Amino acid sequence: MKVIVFLGPPGSGKGTQAQILSEKYGFKHIATGDIFRWHMEHNTELGKKIGQYLERGELVPDEITVRVVEDAILREKNPIGFIFDGFPRTLEQARRLDELLEKIGLRVDIVIYLKVSKDEAIRRLLARGRHDDRPDTIARRFDEYKSKTEPIKKYYEERGLLVEINGEQTIEQVHESIVNTLKSWEII
Ligand code: AMP
């Protein structure tokens, strides 16, 4: 069973690529942002707790986020592997993911870092127009990314797990680059 992590700034195409890949190869796609939005739409206890963070473009506290991920991992009975999209977003989350995976005999096998310029990422977010794709929220999400998420790159780089992909190509080209990388790493 293989574990793939997608890393990259808001608007880098993580969600799009993770979705295409998981559908094509049967991975279980775990996107913390999607899970959080589901809870907000359904007005669950968790949804009420996290709404303010998503609204402001701030990261949800690690304790809450890790619990949600643990739940999603353990719920899955027989996946061929996992794709994490938008998680981990802090060093603490990265460490906790390693612990969670170790407990079930798995490890992160590869981290796909989608590189896009800030200008291009902002263009895409504004074109997408999700509820939290407003200029003030976008600015906050980039600040959070820079200060809390970007340090994770080094964490995975030191373990030899990070592969950088040019995220400014078309969706199909990015997908093809990812597939080629995963094949050469014997992950698919
Ligand atoms: P996304 O759909 O990945 O763009 O995430 C949308 C929002 O959900 C983020 O701006 C955060 O408020 C929250 N979020 C998603 N994933 C995480 C995470 N791993 N840690 C903390 N907050 C998260």
- The confidence band for 3, taking pLDDT boundaries of 50, 70 and 90, is very high
Catalytic-residue membership of 75:
no
What is the distance between the alpha carbons of residues 167 and 116, in angstroms, rounded to a whole number? 5
- 79 preceded by a cis bond (ω within 30 of 0): no
* Close Cβ partners of 181 (under 8 Å, ≥ 6 residues apart): 110, 112, 163, 165
In the prediction, which pLDDT does 76 show? 83
Residue 139 lies in a domain: yes
Into how many domains does the chain fold? 1
Q: In sequence order, what E strands does the chain have?
A: 2-7, 28-31, 81-85, 110-115, 162-166
The token duo for 74 is 């353990």
User: Considering the domain boundaries, does residue 188 fall inside one?
Assistant: no
Summarize pLDDT for 14-42 with one digit per residue, the tens: 999 999 999 999 999 999 999 999 999 99
Least confident of 126-135, 144-153, 159-168: 126-135
CA distances from 97 to 14, 19, 65 (A): 18, 20, 11
SS3 6: strand
What is the pLDDT at residue 79? Answer: 73
In a domain, 158, yes or no: yes
Q: Average pLDDT of the chain?
A: 96
CA angle 100/113/97 to nearest 5° reads: 5
Query: What would the mean pLDDT of 136-152 be, rounded to a whole number?
Result: 97
Told to judge if 130 belongs to the known catalytic residues of this protein, a careful annotator would answer: yes
Spell out which residues line ligand 1, taking CB within 6 angstroms: 10, 32-33, 36, 53-54, 57-60, 65, 86-87, 89, 93, 141
On whether the CB atoms of residues 171 and 82 are closer than 8 A, the answer is no
CATH of residue 172: 3.40.50.300
Structural domain of 59: 2-181
Q: Show Cβ contacts of residue 168 under 8 Å, excluding neighbours closer than 6 positions.
A: 115, 116, 117, 120
- pLDDT tens, position by position, 48-93: 999 999 999 999 999 999 999 999 999 987 778 999 999 999 999 9
Query: Does residue 186 lie within any of the structural domains?
Result: no
Query: Does residue 187 belong to any structural domain of this protein?
Result: no
Domain assignment present for 152: yes
Q: Among this protein's residues, is 123 annotated catalytic?
A: no
